[in-house]
Every structure is written in C-alpha cells, then in structure tokens.
Amino acid sequence: MSGTSLATTLRAWFTPDSVAGLNSSKKPVSFFEFWPGWLFYAPVVVFWVFNAIRYRSVTLPALANPRIDAGGICGESKNDILNLAGLIAKPWIANYAGMTTCGHNDGNDLALAQAAMKSAGLHYPIVAKPDMSCNGVGVRVVRNDSALAAYLAAFPRAARLQLQELVNMPGEAGIFYIRHPHEKTGRITSVTLKYPPTVIGDGSRSIRSLVAADPRLDAVSKLLLPKLGMKAERVPALGEAVRLVFVGNHCRGSTFKDGLDIVTPALTAQIDAIAQDVQDLYFSRIDLRYESLDDLRAGKNFKIIEFNGSGSEATNIWDPAMTLVAAYKTQFFHYGQSFKIGNTIRAQGLKTIGVPKLFNLWRHQKRLMAAYPAND
C-alpha cells in the first residue's frame, strides 16, 4: 500500500465517523461561512429588535433559563449551570471542580486547585477553562502540576475557573434542546457534528504542506497556522494523526456538519431526561463528546461538557452545505423560541434582567476574556 493510500485509510479510521453521508458538500466552505460577524448577524439583530418590539422587552430571552445568569445570553457561569444538575443528570456530565484564583499572585493558587481536584476526584490530564467565557477562549489541556501552576499564574486575579476531566471520546457534537414550560417533554431541534482540523502524516511533508494539500484546511489556514507557529514545520511520521487544535470551535477551524438525521427516539428521550433534571433549563445547546454515532443514536456512551443558554446558536448553520436562507431560518426559529419561552415565564410573574445590567455583564465578560491565558 502506498503512503498516500495509507494516509487516506488512516484518516478514515481516525475520524470517529465518516463525514460522508452527513450532508457532505464538495465545497470546502460555504460562501458565507467566514463573513465578518457584523455582516452575517445584521439580519439576526433586526429579527431580535422585531421581537423585542413585539414582546415589549429587549432582554426577554434571559428568562428562557430563569436560574442562569441572564439566561445564558452572556456572562453566565459554567460552574453554576452544571451545579443545577440533579441526580439523573450528574452521571452524564464530565466531572469538574470550580475554584477562584487568589487576589494576589502569591503562589497559593496551585494548592487551591489541588484541593479542588482532590475533593472532586479529578486526576491529570484535565481541561482548565474560565468559568465565564465563550468560543473556547482560555481553554487549555493541563497534564501536570507545573503546567497547571503556569496556567493559574497567567489567569486573572480573583477570577473563577473550572477544572474538568479530559474526555477522550473521539466524537464531538452540539445538541440543541428546547422545551416550553407547559410541555411534558422537550425536543432536539438541531445537531452539529464537529470534526476538528486534523492531518495525517506521510513521513515526508510538513504540517504546513499537509494543510495546504487539504481543500478544507487550506481554506481555514489563516485560523490554524498562526496558532501553530513553528510546529507547522514539523514532519509527522507516516500515519501519525495530528489534531491541530484542541477546542472544537468553528472559529478555530473545525468542520461542522448538520447531524439532525441521527436523532432517534432513544437519543431524544435521554437528552430530555437529562435536561429536565437541570433546574429550569428550557433552551440550551448541549456540548458533548461521544464514543460513536451508533452509541449517540442509542442515547448512550456520551459525556456532557457544558450547557449553553440563550446566547448560544444552532451551530449546524456552519455546515459548508448549508444555504444562507436555511441558516437564517434556523437562527430565526431558535431565537424566536427563546422569546416565546421567556414570554411564558414572564407571565408567571418573573421579571427580566434590565438592559444596563445585561450590558455590564457583557462588558465584564469581554474584559475577562481579554485577560485569559492563551488557549490550546
């Protein structure tokens, strides 16, 4: 077998489930996939304003998850959300511990982290991440005390973070779940299957050359190569799989595929049971890792990394095969649901967060994100 054919075979083996058949597209990127944010989201902002006028509240979606800060629009705590899980949901969540860095960088952070890990039964390797963040900012795999100490030393003072077990299941997905307060069961409205950028070594070409030879990776090389630095010049061994980023985010170069067709009654029932055991969770994208697509369809062998709130989007819109019209329909449907759920909960007597408070939360999160350590 030639080196090229072996590399192709190994790529198929390394990918948890073949991308082929999942709305695969010959296009490496959709024409709108990397538009500037202000351009792509302009119609979404108009839609939000329309609903704000209709429902007489700009911040009504903050009530869609009333126990989460601002409903998860922004400024929410990852630890606080996971702490809402009951006895049914907890076994499905990747083990974690929360902590707060010291007010002064006096070297005591590591001892606090070690105590938190011991209390939670965590062992290296772990994933260190900010308690308040988005898009994988500040997320890093930590494999020993010295690496954790360095991460903590670079972290903002008196700021919360999360230490979570490293889940080594090969598949990664985002499952959108919606349930209205009057409904006995919820439903899955979107599934995104995430494929991190990976190259398979042939023993002769550098990572940079392997990226250039792959149409998708070449199209997102501006997202990948600056972060890799000199590592891009390394020549991987024949058959060596090199994952180029840890965090499976679209903005970091991962390929997102629409996976709604994998949804089964078994998966829906399991996600519903878990979500209903997280207090007052009605609107959420659940990010998880899974062993295989067959297991995911059967509603087994997966671990939840986090629950996102009203600020999350159905990320299947970034499938290269997605049309712009379908993407906006998906956006409008989901954010429309957040307004409807918030309106129902408001009718029960709860008051929504005010615009000034929401703005302050956003500003606080933005300030923290600018100070976090570099992510993997």
Question: For the residues 94-105, what does the mean pLDDT come to?
Answer: 94
Q: Are the CB atoms for 264 and 283 separated by under 8 Å?
A: no
Which CA distances in Å does 359 have to 74, 212, 311, 354, 355? 9, 42, 13, 9, 6
Q: β-strand 302-308 against 283-290: which pairing, if any?
A: antiparallel
Which CA distances in Å does 18 have to 8, 21, 193, 264, 291? 12, 8, 11, 19, 13
- Average pLDDT of the chain is 91
Of 267, 73, 130, nearest to 188 by C-alpha is 267
Give me the pLDDT at residue 24, please.
44
Give me the pLDDT at residue 26, please.
66
pLDDT confidence band for 10 (50 / 70 / 90): very low
Whole-angstrom distance, CA of residue 306 vs CA of residue 144: 23
Q: Which two tokens stand for residue 364?
A: 């606080």
pLDDT beyond 90 at 62: yes
pLDDT tens digits, one per residue of 122-140: 999 999 999 999 888 999 9
The whole model's pTM is what?
0.89
Q: Of how many residues is the chain composed?
A: 376
Report the share of the chain in percent with pLDDT over 90: 82
| H/E segment holding residue 290 | strand 283-290
Neighbours of 301 (CB within 10 A): 14
Q: Are the CB atoms for 110 and 151 separated by under 8 Å?
A: no
Determine the number of helices (DSSP H) and then strands (DSSP E) in the chain. 13, 11
pLDDT beyond 90 at 106: no
Query: Looking up tokens 């615009």, which residue turns up?
Result: 355
Whole-angstrom distance, CA of residue 33 vs CA of residue 318: 6
pLDDT tens digits, one per residue of 183-225: 999 999 999 999 999 999 999 999 999 999 999 899 889 888 9
Q: Where are the domains of the chain?
A: 95-166
Q: Are the CB atoms for 157 and 105 separated by under 8 Å?
A: yes
pLDDT tens digits, one per residue of 338-349: 999 999 999 999
Neighbours of 279 (CB within 10 A): 15
Helix axes 324-346, 42-55, angle to 10 degrees: 30
CATH number given to 95-166: 3.30.1490.20
pLDDT tens digits, one per residue of 297-307: 999 999 999 99
Q: Are the CB atoms for 365 and 132 separated by under 8 Å?
A: yes
> Which residues are registered as beta bridge partners of 147?
none
Query: Looking up tokens 């979606």, which residue turns up?
Result: 61
* Higher pLDDT, residue 254 or 18: 254
Q: DSSP assignment of 303-353, as one string?
A: EEEEEE-TT---GGGG-TT--HHHHHHHHHHHHHHHHHHHHHHHTTTPPPP
pLDDT confidence band for 29 (50 / 70 / 90): confident
pLDDT beyond 90 at 285: yes
Which CA distances in Å does 231 have to 10, 114, 227, 254? 21, 31, 9, 18
Whole-angstrom distance, CA of residue 146 vs CA of residue 236: 27
> Which residues are registered as beta bridge partners of 257?
193
Q: Are the CB atoms for 368 and 156 separated by under 8 Å?
A: yes
